[in-house]
Amino acid sequence: MRLVDFAIVTGLTEEFDILKRIIPDLKEPADESNGWYRTRVTSVDGTRTYSLVAAFQNGMGPLEANSLTASIIKRWNPAYIILVGIAGSFQGEVRLGDVIVSQQIFYYDIGKEASKGISYRPQGYPCSTVLIRQAEALNLDKLILKTWQKAAKKSAIRLASKLVTPNRRLSKHAQSELKNHLPAVHFGTVASGSLVIANRRKRQKLLALHGKILGTEMEGAGVLHAAFYEEIPTPAIVIKGISDAADKNKDREDAKLYWRELAKENSARFALDLIRRGRINALQTDEFNLDPTNCSPGDVRAVITIPAAPPVTYLGFPRLIIPLGPLTEVRIHLGAQSVQGSVKPIVLVITYVNRNGVPQSRKLENLENVHLSEPMDPDPIGVYALFPGQLSVVDVSVTTSVETKQASWKPPL
């Protein structure tokens, strides 16, 4: 069961810092210790809202990417995965600051060490057709593309204003480059592996294997491997900004900082714009309605079978929470009043269906607060309670990661 609409992954903490700047509402939940960050993104037209989880690797490379992506799928099982960050260009028309979108990941690490050197046996991973089409449609949407380019240009001008170099001529050239920055988007094959490529000969060897490679990076193969080898593969894509030309000048370009900064920003913004375009159906994660319609005392006794001496009240709401999509967690509070004052349930039973489609029943005693922390199917959640005394009112409050809703029940006159 898919729990969230999108997962965004970065290979470096510096890439994640930029992502948090681009999506300022991205927050780490207080009770999460695994480095997950969550938020919701609303489409430009306001018709759809997407649940989003994001995370960064502990280190560069495909192995770290594979491990992180596998963890994300196990915990959140997103509908789509997007890898953002920086990459090196393999083609002259793919310039610094441009963005490359993967149609295929070309994993070059696999090979055989022979007397004449490494004999490569590369492996290819197809990327999400839906995300590719949405990225292409965004690139054809002149209004959105122009807005994206305008934001990139604004960042470039900001960086140009802060540029200071010992060489005045170089400074003027760099400022001119930045002020004229207008990034383009390129679609094609992206090479991925465990090497930082800063050598033309290495680049040419890979191009000899696949002449249409746009650029290279280090995490895409790990992300796609983890996503592709699930029983039901998770659609994934790589969207990266160009920070260097994957040649001997890489260190020099990195030292400038500004192309690296723009590459990170441009890829993160493009990914966000793809989501905000709003053409993909939303899961409506953690959205719900309340139905405080109670059932008969006999129906409650069928769930709560312990004997109780009167005066007591059996109360049940078999469809109290009606999810509109999957639930990642739910907090339920029951505040009851009797003629003696506030009372807690003697017994409280919560019925729900877990993410594997298995019905569950959770029994609690002398508690008015319940936290269901496991993911749940979008099936109604029932609440059954045995209270001491005769009740005058029961106030129900239900909270998810998205919203809090309240309802009240009063006995019939």
* pLDDT averaged over every residue in the chain: 92
Residue 364, SS3? Answer: strand
Q: Tell me the C-alpha distance between 378 and 355, whole Å.
A: 9
Burial of 162 (0-12, 13-18, 19+ CB in 10 A): exposed
The per-residue DSSP string of 215-247 comes to EEESSHHHHHHHHHTSSSPPPEEEEEEEEE-SS
pLDDT of residue 252: 81
**pLDDT tens-digit map of 3-24:** 999 999 999 999 999 999 999 9
Structural domain includes residue 265: yes
Residue that is last in its domain, among 249, 276, 303: 276
Residue with the bigger pLDDT between 171 and 238: it is: 238
Looking at the chain, how many residues does it have?
Answer: 413
The pTM for the full model equals 0.93
Longest CA pairwise span in the chain (Å): 92
Up-side HSE of residue 31: CA atoms within 13 Å toward CB?
6
Contact assessment for residue 411 and residue 347, using Cβ atoms and an 8 Å cutoff:
no
Structural domain includes residue 1: no
Structural domain includes residue 200: yes
User: 90 and 154 share a domain?
Assistant: yes
The CATH number covering residue 325 comes to 2.60.120
The per-residue DSSP string of 306-323 comes to S--PSSEEEEEEEEEEEE
Read off the pLDDT band of 115 (50, 70, 90): low
Residue that is last in its domain, among 276, 309, 338: 276
Torsion of CA 73, 75, 79, 81, to 10 degrees: -50
The separation between the first and the last C-alpha atoms of the chain, rounded to the nearest angstrom, is: 44
pLDDT of residue 59: 85
Q: Tell me the C-alpha distance between 413 and 62, whole Å.
A: 67
User: 185 and 256 share a domain?
Assistant: yes
> What are the tokens at 382?
């029932």
Mean per-residue pLDDT for 95-106? 97
User: 158 and 263 share a domain?
Assistant: yes
> What are the tokens at 109?
């690490």
Per-residue pLDDT for 167 more than 60? no
Read off the pLDDT band of 176 (50, 70, 90): confident
How do 49-56 and 99-107 pair as beta strands? unpaired
Burial string for 84-115 (b: 16+ CB within 10 Å, else e) reads bbbbbbbbeebbbbbbbbbbbbbbbbeeeeee
Question: Which residue, 97, 25, 348, 66, is CA-closest to 221?
Answer: 66
User: 167 and 250 share a domain?
Assistant: yes
Structural domain includes residue 107: yes
Unique residue bearing structure tokens 């997007």: 82
CB neighbours of 161 closer than 8 A, spacing ≥ 6?
A: none
Question: Which residue, 266, 273, 295, 288, is CA-closest to 332?
Answer: 288
Mean per-residue pLDDT for 115-140? 88
**Number of domains into which the chain is organized:** 2
Structural domain includes residue 392: yes
Range of the domain at 396: 288-409
Per-residue pLDDT for 169 more than 60? no
Q: Tell me the C-alpha distance between 79 and 72, whole Å.
A: 11
pLDDT of residue 145: 95
H helix intervals, 257-324: 258-276, 297-303
The CATH number covering residue 135 comes to 3.40.50.1580
Residue that is last in its domain, among 221, 255, 276: 276
> What are the tokens at 220?
């895409």
Q: Tell me the C-alpha distance between 390 and 412, whole Å.
A: 12
User: 257 and 306 share a domain?
Assistant: no
Structural domain includes residue 364: yes
pLDDT of residue 324: 98
User: 224 and 341 share a domain?
Assistant: no
Unique residue bearing structure tokens 């002398």: 366
Question: Which residue, 58, 11, 59, 62, is CA-closest to 194?
Answer: 62
Residue 12's φ and ψ, nearest 5 degrees, are -130, 150
Structural domain includes residue 343: yes
Question: Which residue, 34, 69, 89, 45, is CA-closest to 279?
Answer: 45
User: 243 and 299 share a domain?
Assistant: no
User: 126 and 247 share a domain?
Assistant: yes
**pLDDT tens-digit map of 358-382:** 999 999 999 999 999 999 999 999 9
Mean per-residue pLDDT for 247-260? 85
User: 265 and 307 share a domain?
Assistant: no
Unique residue bearing structure tokens 């799928």: 73
> What are the tokens at 141?
């949407």
User: 206 and 347 share a domain?
Assistant: no
Residue with the bigger pLDDT between 309 and 55: it is: 55
Structural domain includes residue 282: no
Q: Tell me the C-alpha distance between 323 and 376, whole Å.
A: 9
User: 239 and 325 share a domain?
Assistant: no
Mean per-residue pLDDT for 114-135? 84
The per-residue DSSP string of 317-360 comes to EEEEEEESS-BS-EEEEEEEEETTEEE--SEEEEEEEBTTS-EE
User: 197 and 243 share a domain?
Assistant: yes
Which range among 86-100, 180-194, 195-209, 394-408 shows the weakest confidence by mean pLDDT? Answer: 195-209
Q: Tell me the C-alpha distance between 413 and 411, whole Å.
A: 6
